[in-house]
Amino acid sequence: MARTPHGAAIAAGTGDNMGAALGLSQSEGDVSVSIGTSGVCAMVSPTRPNDASGTVTGFADATGRFLPMTTTINAARILEAGRTLLGVSHEEMAQLALASVPGAHGVTLLPYFDGERTPNRPDARATLTGMSTATTREDIARAYVEGLLCSLADGIAALEERTGTAAAGITLIGGAARSEAVQQLAPAIFGREVTLAPPAEYVALGAARQAAWALAGTEEPPPGSSPAPGPSAARRRPRCSRRTAH
C-alpha cells in the first residue's frame, strides 16, 4: 500500500451514496431509499445497468459492484408543502394522514412541484385531484404522504425492471423517514417489508469502513452493522402508485 512521506496510507475513496450503502452494510439486491430534499433509491447490483432513457443512472459502489440509482427532485419538500398548506407541524401532518384511509377517499397528489427527474418531467407542476365537498384535511394530508411514497415506489420499480433483480430488502434513511406516517404507510405502498435505519451518519460510517478495509488488505470489507428491521409488514399497495408516472 502506498503511503505519504509521513506514513499515512493512500487508498481509494468513494462517493456519498456509495459510502452510505457501505455504511448500511447493503448486500446485492438491497435498496436504500433516502428521503431528503430529493429522493434517492439505490440498489447494490452485480451487473452494470444500461438504461438509455436515463431513468436509472449507473454508478459503481464501494466494493467492486454497481449502484444503479433513481433520483426524484421532490421528496421531503412534498411533506413540507402539505404541512404549510394545512398550517400544521410535521407531527400533526403525520397524524392527519394516518387518520384517513388508503387512497385518501380518491384524493390524489401528483407531487411534481418543481418539475421532476424520475420520470423526466422538467416543466411539470403538482396537481391535487379527486376532491369533493366531503374531502377532509385528513384526506389531503394522506394524499401528500401517498404521493411521496408512490413516487419513490416508481423509482424502486424502475431499478427492479432495469436490473432484472427484485429488491431483496428496503431501508429508509433521511430526514423525512422520521415521519410516523411515512414509516407506517411505506410497507403498504412499496408492497414489502421496510427497515427503518436508526439516525446515523451512514456516509461517514461507510468511509470509515472503507478506510479500515484498505488498512486490513482483505478481499472483503470488515464486518459492519445492519439496521434492525422496523415494526412493519407488507400489505397491498394502493392503486395511486401507478398514477405518479403520468
List, in order of start, the domains of the chain with CATH numbers. 16-200 (3.30.420.40)
Cβ 176 vs Cβ 149: under 8 Å: no
Report whether the peptide linkage leading into residue 119 is cis, meaning its omega lies within 30 degrees of zero.
yes
Q: Residue 98: exposed, middle, or buried by beta-carbon count in 10 A (0-12, 13-18, 19+)? A: middle
Active-site residue identified among 16, 30, 61, 139:
16
pLDDT tens digit string along 55-65?
999 999 999 99
User: Is the pLDDT confidence value at 143 over 90?
Assistant: yes
Average pLDDT over residues 101-117: 96
- Alpha carbon distance 93, 76 (integer Å): 13
Task: Between 51 and 95, name the one with better pLDDT.
Answer: 95
Q: In this predicted model, what pLDDT tens digit does every residue of 83-94 receive, in sequence order?
A: 999 999 999 999
Q: Measured between alpha carbons, how far is residue 179 from residues 54, 90, 140, 239 in Å?
A: 30, 7, 16, 22
Is residue 51 part of the annotated active site? The answer reads no
- Grid cell 427532485 — which residue? 73
pLDDT in tens, 203-231: 999 999 999 999 998 989 998 776 665 54
Closest CA to 60 of 51, 47, 70: 47
Residue 239: pLDDT band (50, 70, 90) is very low
